[in-house]
Amino acid sequence: MISFIGNMRRHHRRAGQGGARTLPAPTDWKSTETSLGAANTSVCATGGVERCGVKPSVGLARALRGVLLCAWLVSVGWCESAPPKLIDCHVHHDGSVAFLEKLTAKLDGSDGMALLITMPKDLEQVSAFMKAHPGRLIGLGQVDLDSPQVLETVRRFQRAGFAGLGELTGPRYRYDDERYWPIYRLAEQSRMIVLFHTGIVNRMTPEIPSNVSSDRMRAATLDLIARQFPRLTIIGAHLGNPDYAWAGEVARWNPNVYFDVSGSTLIKKQDDLGFFKSVFWWTSVASAHTPKSAAPAFEKVIFGSDVFGGDLEEMDRALERYRRMLEACGVSPEVRENILGGTLRRVLESRDK
């Protein structure tokens, strides 16, 4: 797969030389204050080969994943045009065609891409838009962890070319309960991303009783999942609000865990944005008590806007909040670019290793 990715990059360079649009070199970070363009990134993903119980050789498995990767890249258009400038890992589909039209127009205008959280009822609608707008939408399938049909629903999304699951929320048990392990195992085998809601959750209809507990969705519950399923890529939404320290430590020790900082956190902390240096504190620390890694701590953060209810302006507001936080924390331009897409690209590229 690595050689294929290298060929893909060479293809982008040749395409640029032949007159196709190429990305400009990154410039001043402030150019992102009101628009969606900052990081020159590309993304790829792979399909699973063992989900039907077949266990081919390692070489054959990788070859098959390479074929699936190629087909998927062509389907989303990355082999035909320059990669997107920004990837938003957290956009909720509101179920309407009008929203999809506005979203794809916005992404076309800003050269962006969105991981689109999709209900099962909207699977066919979103799949059609993914095909009609290559390189703009990547599907995340929203599933009910407690449904008796959840495994088949996961397979439906996987067969439709969705790259992941999420936003998982509202479980009857803690996320790390063994009842959910078959779901995570299937996602891992299919090389899917899983986006978890973490921390406090809204209550839109307080007059109606509900079996929903934020305590079951704490950031700390991702730790066991990450250790038990080391090839599963996990994104925790909202940085575990308000368990920021736990979120940071779970990300620090688990190479397959990342967090977005969407939602109310960057609003609540707007007068104390330097606080996040205490959460992502371990850059360049050499100690037996921290993992050996040359990667800056802030590369555990990826961009997510948590657009919902059709409010696409939240994408720009979230980007501006990220910009202020990263400036306050002295995060380098290179790391900022990774937060806006480079880290997620590398995660997806490395899935076949």
> What is the residue-wise DSSP string for 61-97?
HHHHHHHHHHHHHHHHTTTTSPPPSEEEEEEE--S-H
Answer whether 157's CB lies under 8 Å from 165's CB.
yes
3-state helix, strand, coil in the chain (%, to 5): 45, 10, 40
In CATH, which superfamily holds the domain spanning 2-352? Metal-dependent hydrolases (3.20.20.140)
Instruction: Please tell me the pTM assigned to this model.
Output: 0.78
How many of the other CB atoms lie within 10 Å of CB of 53? 5
Name the token pair of 69: 């990767």
Q: What is the pLDDT of residue 181?
A: 98
Between strands 86-92 and 112-118, the pairing is parallel
Q: What single letter denotes the amino acid at residue 33?
A: E
- The alpha carbons of the chain give a radius of gyration, in whole angstroms, of 19
Q: Which residues pair with 139 in a beta bridge?
A: 116
DSSP string, 193-223: EEEEE-S----S-TTS-----GGGG-TTHHH
Answer whether 237's CB lies under 8 Å from 298's CB.
no
With CA atoms as reference, report the closest residue to 202 among 235, 172, 176, 169. 169
Residue given tokens 């060929």 in the structure block: 7
User: Taking phi first (over 0 means left), then psi (-120 to 50 degrees means alpha), and beta for anything else, what does residue 308 get?
Assistant: beta
Q: 271: helix, coil or strand?
A: coil
Q: Could you tell me which residues come within 8 angstroms of residue 237 by beta carbon, excluding any fewer than 6 positions away?
A: 90, 166, 167, 195, 196, 197, 198, 259, 260, 262, 263, 304, 306
User: Taking phi first (over 0 means left), then psi (-120 to 50 degrees means alpha), and beta for anything else, what does residue 170 get?
Assistant: left
Q: 278: helix, coil or strand?
A: helix
Per-residue pLDDT of the chain (353 residues; tens, 9 = 90+): 333 233 334 333 333 333 333 333 333 333 443 344 433 333 333 333 333 444 445 455 555 555 555 555 555 555 455 666 799 999 999 999 999 999 999 999 888 899 999 999 999 999 999 999 988 999 999 999 999 999 999 999 999 999 999 999 999 999 999 999 999 999 999 999 999 999 999 999 999 999 999 999 999 999 999 999 999 999 999 999 999 999 999 999 999 999 999 999 999 999 999 999 999 999 988 888 888 877 899 999 999 999 999 999 999 999 999 999 999 999 999 999 999 988 887 776 665 55
Task: Report the distance separating Cα 32 and Cα 333, nearest Å.
Answer: 12
Instruction: Give the sign of the dihedral formed by CA 31, CA 130, CA 262, CA 44.
Output: negative
Answer whether 1's CB lies under 8 Å from 46's CB.
yes
Residue given tokens 């399938």 in the structure block: 141
Answer whether 234's CB lies under 8 Å from 351's CB.
no
Q: What is the pLDDT of residue 7?
A: 37
Task: Report the distance separating Cα 240 and Cα 259, nearest Å.
Answer: 8
Answer whether 113's CB lies under 8 Å from 107's CB.
yes
Q: What are phi and psi of 29, to 5 degrees?
A: -55, -30
Answer whether 60's CB lies under 8 Å from 67's CB.
no
Task: Report the distance separating Cα 236 and Cα 225, nearest Å.
Answer: 12
Answer whether 266's CB lies under 8 Å from 322's CB.
yes
Between strands 164-168 and 257-259, the pairing is unpaired
Q: What angle do CA 249, 251, 255 make, to 5 degrees?
A: 135
